[in-house]
Chains A and B, each alone.
Chain A
Amino acid sequence: MFDILIKNGTVVDGTGAKGRAADVAVKDGKIAAIGHIDGAAKTVIDAKGRVVAPGFIDPHTHFDVQILWDGAAKPALEHGVTTIVPGNCSLSLAPLKESGRKAVIGMFQQIEEMPPEAFTEEFAKWTWEDFAGYRAAIEPGLDINVAPLVGHSLIRFWVMGAESQERAANQAEIAEMKELLRESLKAGAVGMSTSYIDMDDKGRPVPSRFAPLSELDAMCEVLGEFGRILQVVPEFYDADLTIARVDQLAELSLKHNIPTTLSPVFDSPVTPHVAPRILARVEEQFARGARVWPQVQTRPVDISFSFLRPSLYFARLPTWWRTLKQPLEQRRASLKDPAVIEALLKEADTNLMTQAMGGLVIRGGDNAPAAYVGRKLADVAAERGESNPQALINISLEGDLDVAFGNMNVGHNSPERIGPMLASKHVHIGASDGGAHLTSFATYGDTGFLFSDYVRKTKHLTLEEAVKKITADTADIWGLKDRGRVQEGLAADLVVFDPETIARGEEKPVFDMPGDGMRYTRGSVGIDTVVVNGAVAYANGKYQDARTGKVCV
C-alpha cells in the first residue's frame, strides 16, 4: 500500500518536458511510481485539473531564526516551497560562540529586521555553538526542508572575535577558518555565503567585508573539496563593481571547480544598463566554463516610507523635504502647523504630486488603521473628504507617524525587460529574501508571481519552463541531488496547484513575530497540496504540522 496516491493530475516533472497525464505514488518518503496506478493508498488526492510538480526551492532566504520556532517557515510552505536556503549574505546562526551572540543578534536585527525578542522569548535556551548543534536544534521541528549556508561572517567572528571587523586574517587564522568551514560542511551546510555590502547594527561592515580575495580563495579551496556552492552579495547597485565580482567569482569557480551565485540582480527604469551589462558578462564567463549564477527575482520592487524618517520620495518637493527632515518633535509640530500644511499642499499641487500621491498604498506600520491597510490613498482620501496630501499627513499624524505608505511596483517592473532575463538559461530565479526585510515589505510568493505574470500574462516562459527554473535547475545549481524532479526514487517533495490561478496573495501586515512584532506577509493562491518527504505538509489552506522536513544537501 502506498502512503499517498495523487491521481488524475498533469505531471510537470521539473525537467522541462511537456506535462503529461499521470498518477504519482509515494511511499516511505520517496516517489514510488509514476503513471497509471491502481494500487491502494492511505491518502488519495484527486488532482484533476491540477498540475503535480516537484516542490519549489527558494535559494535565497533568511529564515535562520524563524525556523527555530516555525518549522514551516510560514508562509513559504503554503506557496509550494518545500526547500529553503537560509544563511545567505554571510550571516547564519552557527558557528557561534556564546560570547558572540549579542553581536550576531545585532547583525540579524540590522540585516533582517528581526526583533530582539526573537532571541529571548522564542528560543531563550541556545543549545548550540557549532553548525552540527544548530542543525540538531532545528531539524526535529522542520515541516520544510532546509539547505543551510554557513556564513563567512560567522566563521570569521568565531576565529577572530571583534577583530573580524577590523582587519585581514593571518595565515594561522585562515587555517582555523578553513577547518571550521570543513566541519560545517560535514555537518550539513550546503555551501558558504559572503557579502560585500552588509552592515551590522552599529553601522560597521560585517566581518566578511574585511576578507581579502586571498582569504576567500582559501575558503573556496575547502568548498572545492566538497563541490559546494559560494553565495555572494556584490555591490549590486553598481554595474562595474558587480561585473568585477562576476569576474572574481568566475576565477574561483574555475580554479576550485565550484558553483557560485550572486544576488540580487534587479532592473530599474532609471539605471537600465545595469542588469543587462551584468548578465552579458555572466554569459561570457559561462562560455569560459565558469559557473556564476546571477539570481534575479520575479517580483517588482517598491518604495516604502513613513514620516518617522525622511524618504527621498519627497526629494523633489523642497518644503516637504525640509519639513520631514527636521528632528522628530519639530517634524510632528510642523505637520500640525496650519501655515506649514498650507505650504505643503500648495507645493504638492504645483508639482502635480497631489494626484500622484493618490496612487500610494497604505501599507502597514505599527499604527496603521486596519480599515485602511492595503487600500489606495486616493480612495481613503475621498472617503475622508480630504485631498490626497491632506490624507497622507492626517493619517500619519493619527498614527503618531508610524504608518507606512508604498509607492508600489516602481522598480524591476518592466515585463518586457525582465521576462527574457528570467527565461535566460544563465539566470537563476531567486533572491526572494524570504524571512528578511520583515517590517518593510513581503518577501513571499515570488513563485506564484512567476506563474501569474510571466507564464499566464506575458508568456515569457511556458509552464514547464517555469517549473524547471524553480525546481530541477535550482537543485542542480545547489547540488541537491535528491530533489527538484518528479522521478521515481527521489524524495517525495511535491506541490499540487491550479495552473489557471496560482499567484501570490495580497500583501498584509500581521503581528505574529515574537514580542508582537509586525511583519508583512502574503498568502498563496491556487496551491492545493504540498508534500514534504512523503507526508502532506499543507492542504486545503491548512498547515498539517507533518514535521517531515530535513536538513538536506
Chain B
Amino acid sequence: MEDEAVIVGADITAGHDGAAELVLKVRYQNGVVSPVVLDPETAVALMDACGVASIDKLAGHAWRKVLEEA
C-alpha cells in the first residue's frame, strides 16, 4: 500500500471532439483503483511533469504530478 495515490496504468481513448484523450488508472491510498480521463493539454503536461515520452512509462509515478509543471 502506497502512502499516496499512484498511476498504475494508462491508455488512449477517443474524446467527444475527435481528440485522443488519456485514460489513467490511479490506485488510491485505500487500494481502490479508479480511472481518470485527462484532456490532451493536461495529458501532455502530466507526461512532461513525469519526464516521460510514452504513456507506458507513466505507471509508478505519483498522481500528484498532474498538478506539477515540468
Contacts and interface: CB of A to CB of B under 8 A. Distances in A.
Of the listed residues B20, B52, B54, the one surrounded by the most CB atoms of chain A closer than 10 A to its CB is B20
Contacts of B53: 318-319, 321-322
Contact of A270 (B11, B44, B47): B11
Contact of B13 (A271, A310, A318): A271
B6 to A, nearest CB: 19
A415 interface: no
A315 interface: yes
Interface string B10-46: 0111111111111100000000000111011001100
A305 interface: yes
Nearest to B11: A270
Contact of B40 (A271, A311, A318): A311
B20 A301 contact: no
A354 to B, nearest CB: 17
Interface string A311-340: 111011111011001000000000000000
B16 A264 contact: yes
A97 interface: no
Describe A's contact surface by its main secondary structure. loop
B47 A268 contact: no
Chain B interface extent, by class: 20 to 34
Nearest to B44: A310
Contacts of A325: 44
Given A312-B55, A318-B53, A411-B13, A303 B18 contact: yes
Interface string A408-434: 001110000000000000000000000
Contacts of B56: 316
- Chain A, interface size category, equals 20 to 34
Interface in A278-307: 301-305
Contacts of B13: 268-271, 410-411
Contact of A311 (B20, B54, B55): B20
Contacts of B40: 310-312
A407 B18 CA distance: 10
Contacts of B11: 270
A101 interface: no
A269 B55 CA distance: 18
A273 interface: yes
Given A270-B23, A310-B44, A238 B17 contact: no
B65 to A, nearest CB: 15
A305 B40 CA distance: 12
A497 interface: no
A474 interface: no
A312 B16 CA distance: 14
B20 A237 contact: no
Given A318-B54, A322-B53, A312 B21 contact: yes
A315 B43 contact: yes
B53 to A, nearest CB: 4
Contacts of B39: 237
Nearest to A239: B35
Contacts of A319: 53
A301 B18 CA distance: 7
Contact of A303 (B14, B44, B47): B14
B35 A273 contact: yes
A490 to B, nearest CB: 34
Contact of B17 (A271, A310, A437): A437
A523 to B, nearest CB: 20
A446 B59 CA distance: 38
A304 B19 contact: yes
Given A310-B44, A315-B20, A315-B22, A411 B14 contact: yes
B37 A440 contact: no
A441 interface: yes
A61 to B, nearest CB: 15
B26 to A, nearest CB: 12
A236 interface: yes
Contacts of A304: 18-19
Contacts of A315: 12, 20, 22, 43, 47, 54-55
Contact of B16 (A236, A318, A321, A410): A236
Nearest to B53: A318
| Residue among A268, A301, A317 with max Cβ neighbours from chain B (10 Å) | A268
Contacts of B54: 315-318, 321
B66 to A, nearest CB: 14
B37 A312 contact: no
Contacts of A449: none
Nearest to A233: B16
Given A312-B43, A315-B47, A301 B21 contact: no
Given A270-B23, A315-B54, A321-B53, A441 B18 contact: yes
A478 interface: no
**Residue among B16, B22, B23, B54 with the highest chain A CB neighbour number at 10 A:** B16
A271 B37 contact: yes
Q: Would you list the 8 A-B pairs with minimal beta carbon distance, nearest first?
A: A411-B14, A318-B53, A312-B20, A304-B18, A440-B18, A237-B37, A301-B14, A303-B20
Interface of B: 11-23, 35-37, 39-40, 43-44, 47, 52-56
7 contacts: A303-B19, A304-B19, A312-B55, A319-B53, A321-B53, A321-B54, A440-B18
Interface of A: 236-238, 264, 266, 268-271, 273, 301-305, 310-313, 315-319, 321-322, 325, 407, 410-412, 437, 440-441
